[in-house]
Amino acid sequence: MRSTVYPAIAVVAATIATGAHAQSSVTLYGILDIGIQYTSNQGGHHSAQEASSMMRGNRWGLQGREDLGGGLKAIFRLEGGFSPNNGALGQSTANAQRIFGRYAYVGVTNDVVQVLLGRQTDFMLDYLQTTANSWYGTSLEFHPAINANFFGNNGSNPSLDRIGGGEVDNSVKATWAPVESLHFGAMYGFGDAPGIGSPNSTQSYGATWTTKSSLVGAVYTTRKDNMTPGALRTLGVGGTVTLGAFILNALYTNSRWTLTGDVANIYDVGVRYNITPFQVVGVEYTFLDKNNGPKNVFYASIRSTYGVIYDYRFSKATDIYATYVFQHASGHYPAQLFGMSFSSSSSQGVVAIGIRHYF
């Protein structure tokens, strides 16, 4: 993540570092992403509105590290989401207002092993996010959202297969890199009540293999519901490859709701082309299939989502973008792109332009 320490923060951080340890550092960073979008059909009406977090979620945060000697470092990260439209906190619920709703963890790391404790994402995001269409397109291409209360997602409202990011409270995450290109990870979230296997408890396991031009990852995550004996079990396999000016991505996820046996299979494929070092164009296609027909608790219809995006970078920190995303649902069921209200028909399209700035 690109970040620059503000001068005032740098002075404070330097003062702390001098008093505590010569190798300590603290960095302030963030992203501002906001634009205008036009939707063809929401509840039977077209609409235009100011929208945010279309390319990347708006956030600000602090991260730091201290050299403990012998290659060991202490690290921390505090990160919160917000809406630049009105300044409201993100990742919050009526019962929990979170200043640092995206990440709040501390841990230790060296060149081989890392252990983190606190609120953090599972490996569906950590290892597979960059293989999804939403990474190269916009949040409109996130996989379908699920009711946060239904699966007890701590107010994070992730996509169905958690590729969009699902924070886990009270969690312990460990990663191991026996060689530089190979990473393994395991995570356990203790849930909302004492004891192993409590409501909202989470287990996540993953592995990635990376080279200079490619990445392959596989992840399994299971999360117990906070209202029923059921659990959401998700498997994901994805990869990316760079071929000259082209970047190709592909992802498959399988999400199963154990209480009913309902399953959703989602497939992503996309291509991005670097026209120049400052201009990028991409096209994406997502296909959602399911079992159990209209009784499926996820979605009752097959859905196809198409996206095209153009991005122009003024600098390493600032860019503008334009996108068009369209979804069609089979069987006369209403279409619904991520973050939108249901269409009154089987199709829905969104045109959007925006600006993004890293600091």
Token output for 258: 């154990």
Q: If we measure between CA atoms, which residue out of 196, 212, 165, 167 comes closest to residue 338?
A: 165
User: What CA–CA distances, in Å, run from 140 to 2, 50, 51, 53, 247?
Assistant: 23, 14, 11, 10, 20
DSSP category for residue 335: P
How far is Cα 237 from Cα 58, in angstroms, rounded to an integer? Answer: 27
Question: For the stretch 106-143, what's the b/e string if a residue is b when 16 or more beta carbons lie within 10 angstroms of its beta carbon?
Answer: ebbbeeeebebebbbbbbbbbbbbbbbbbbbbbbbbbb
- Please tell me the distance from the alpha carbon of residue 48 to that of residue 7, in angstroms, as a whole number: 39
Residue 266, SS3 per DSSP = strand
From residue 7, alpha-carbon distances to 27, 131, 168, 299 in Å are: 11, 36, 33, 50
Q: Which amino acid is at 352?
A: A
For residues 64 and 27, the answer to whether their CB atoms sit within 8 Å is yes
- Reading the chain (359 residues) residue by residue, the pLDDT tens digits are 444 344 444 434 444 444 444 589 999 999 999 999 999 999 999 999 999 999 999 999 999 999 999 999 999 999 999 999 998 888 877 777 889 999 999 999 999 999 999 999 999 999 999 999 999 999 999 988 765 444 544 445 568 899 988 889 999 999 999 999 999 999 999 977 666 567 778 999 999 999 999 999 999 999 888 777 888 899 999 999 999 999 999 999 999 988 888 899 999 999 999 999 999 999 999 999 988 777 777 778 899 999 999 999 999 999 999 999 999 999 889 999 988 999 999 999 999 999 999 99
DSSP one-letter code for 130:
G
- DSSP code at position 235: E
For tokens 């990852």, the residue is 217
Residue 300, number of CB atoms within 10 A of its CB: 17
Q: Which two tokens stand for residue 300?
A: 């009752």
The answer to whether 141 and 321 are in contact (CB under 8 A) is: no
pLDDT at res. 298: 73
How would DSSP label each residue in 10-59? HHHHHHHHHHH-TT-EEEEEEEEEEEEEEEEEETTEEEEEEEE-SSS--E
Smallest CA-to-CA distance from 185 within 171, 198, 196 is with: 171
What residue ranges define each of the domains in the chain, with the CATH number in brackets?
A: 7-358 (2.40.160.10)
Q: Is the model's pTM score more than 0.85? A: yes
